[in-house]
Amino acid sequence: MRIAVYSAKPYDREFLDAENKNRNFELSYFEDPLTIETVSYTGDFEAVCVFVNDHLDRDVIAKLAENNVKLIALRCAGFNNVDLAAARDHAIKVVRVPAYSPYAVAEHALALIMTLNRKTHRSFNRVREGNFSLNGLIGFDLNGKTVGVIGTGKIGQIFSKIMLGFGCTVLAYDPYPNKELIQAGVDYVSLDILYKRSDIISLQCPLTPDTHHLINQKALDQMKEGVMLINTSRGGLIDTKVLVGALKKGKIGHLGIDVYEQEEAIFFKDLSDQIVQDDLIMRLISFPNVLITAHQAFFTNTAMQNIASTTLGNIEAFQKGQFVNEVNVDRLAS
Ligand code: NAD
């Protein structure tokens, strides 16, 4: 089976090629993302393998169908970048990697919190320049703080347990509360209460039409002065323009994001010798209390191995007429 792998970075090739040794798919790698401009590459392929910032809207999917592509194999968990109804209408199956390492993402959320709080990134630079002063580096004890977790699925669950381990009070909001977490001491509350009481708020829910701009002006108004906000889920959960206003006023004391609303045009690219045209991210970068990583929360050896084996396993199952890890718009709706 011939598979067009889009948005392929050297590390994607490394892990997919290693996994393909026993499977012998014909993998063709394209560095470009899948968009309306690049969909023409798929003339000879039965499947496309895509990642978080490939753009599979109705027009792209119609072109895939014209080219006889039968399968969209996502090498990620989120599927907000795929028009699932269009895929169904064109009889193209969509499969994904529902979990590759929830630990990787939960631990990265913790890394953002620890760095923002204890400012180790600033200490590193200072000490290298012979500056051993502590001015401006003061943090707070995590022990005893209240952490609000929005979404307690695979990642949110692990993150909640990590925060309980630090001696934090953990509040959670999820339409489907998790009994094991309740037993462990997590308190499920309404979003309003979570916003009001939390010192740190971490977003661990998917981006859907319901959660788009979940963090808007109204939500921010309810939060504590100086709250720390962490987002490792999807950029569209936050209204970034409103966020800049809240940072300027000091309403948000710390912001840690691994995802960004307009990341499609900039993340996973080296733009260090170019003029970045995205004014919003440049404004965010200018705040000393903002830490941005470029969608790297998933990026561990364990996760990359799991992504490669599940992706090629999904494709192998499809060849046998089985739909493993399928994302189906009708089943989601019901
Ligand atoms: P999951 O499906 O296991 O859990 C999602 C949870 O969110 C579920 O419990 C669900 O009930 C809950 N939820 C749904 N709608 C909600 C709402 N309106 N408010 C609160 N909770 C809601 O997913 P997961 O594996 O834990 O991943 C969570 C998200 O993390 C993914 O959707 C993806 O966008 C993101 N993610 C990011 C990276 C990264 O590298 N930054 C990697 C993997 C996943």
Position 203 confidence tier, pLDDT thresholds 50, 70, 90: very high
| pTM reported for the whole predicted model | 0.92
Catalytic site residue from 55, 75, 96, 295: 295
Is residue 330 scored above 90 in pLDDT?
no
C-alpha distance across the termini of the chain, in Å: 33
Q: Which position among 19, 234, 254, 261 bears the catalytic label?
A: 234
Pair 248, 151 in one domain: yes
Same domain for 59 and 122: no
Active site residue 295: yes
Q: How far apart are CA 32 and CA 23, in angstroms?
A: 25
- Residues 308-321: tens digit of each pLDDT: 999 999 999 999 99
Asked if residue 253 has its Cβ within 6 Å of ligand 1, the reply is no
Give yes or no for a contact between 16 and 50, defined as CB atoms under 8 angstroms apart.
no
Atom 2 of ligand 1, nearest CA residue: 153
Distance, in Å, from the CA atom of 216 to the CA atom of 229, rounded to the nearest integer, reads: 12
Nearest to 17 by CA among 323, 319, 331, 312: 312
Which residues are CB-contacts of 189 (< 8 A; sequence separation ≥ 6)?
171, 172, 173, 197
- Whether residues 53 and 199 share a domain: the answer is no
Are residues 73 and 120 part of one domain? no
119 and 75 inside one domain: no
Distance 129 CA to ligand 1 centre (A): 41
* Residue ranges making up the domain that contains 283: 102-292
Q: In angstroms, rounded to a whole number, what is the distance separating the alpha carbons of residues 327 and 73?
A: 10
| CA 266 to ligand 1 centroid distance, Å | 23
- 120 and 188 belong to one structural domain: yes
- Both 180 and 266 in a single domain? yes
Same domain for 56 and 118, yes or no, is: no
Atom index in ligand 1 nearest the CA of residue 176 equals 11
Atom of ligand 1 nearest to the CA of 151: 21
Percent of all residues in the chain with a pLDDT value above 70, rounded to a whole number: 100
Same domain for 215 and 115, yes or no, is yes
Ligand 1 mutation pick, 110, 155, 302, 310, max ligand atoms within 8 A of CB: 155
Q: What is the pLDDT of residues 57-97, one digit of tens each?
A: 999 999 999 999 999 999 998 899 999 999 999 999 999 99
Contact 176 CB / ligand 1 (< 6 Å): yes
Which stretches of 10-102 are assigned E, i.e. beta strand? 26-29, 47-50, 71-74, 93-95
Strands, sheet with 169-173, edge to edge from the N-terminal-most edge strand: 187-188, 169-173, 146-150, 200-203, 227-231, 252-257, 290-292
Instruction: Give pLDDT, residue 128.
Output: 97
190 and 247 part of one domain:
yes
Tell me how many domains the chain contains: 2
Contacts of 300 (CB under 8 A, 6+ apart): 101, 103, 104
CA-wise closest residue to 231 among 100, 113, 70: 113
Question: Ligand 1 pocket: which of 152, 173, 233 to mutate (most atoms <8 Å of CB)?
Answer: 233
Within 8 A by CB and 6+ apart from 21, the residues are: none
pLDDT over 90 at 232, yes or no = yes
Model pLDDT, residue 333? 76
Order of strands, edge to edge, in the sheet holding 26-29? 26-29, 2-5, 47-50, 71-74, 93-95
Same domain, 80 and 141: no
pLDDT reading at 334 higher than 80 = no
122 a catalytic residue: no
Residues 145-183 have pLDDT tens digits of 999 999 999 999 999 999 999 999 999 999 999 999 999
Domain containing residue 192: CATH number = 3.40.50.720
Q: Are residues 267 and 128 both part of a single domain? A: yes
Residue 121: burial class (beta carbons within 10 Å; 0-12, 13-18, 19+): exposed
How far is residue 5's CA from residue 73's CA, in Å, rounded to a whole number? 9
**CB 209 less than 6 A from any atom of ligand 1:** no
Output the CA 151–ligand 1 centroid distance in Å: 6
Residue 278 alpha carbon to ligand 1 centre in Å: 27
Return the pLDDT at 219.
98
Ligand 1: centre distance to CA 38 (Å): 29
Ligand 1: atom nearest CA of 76 is 43
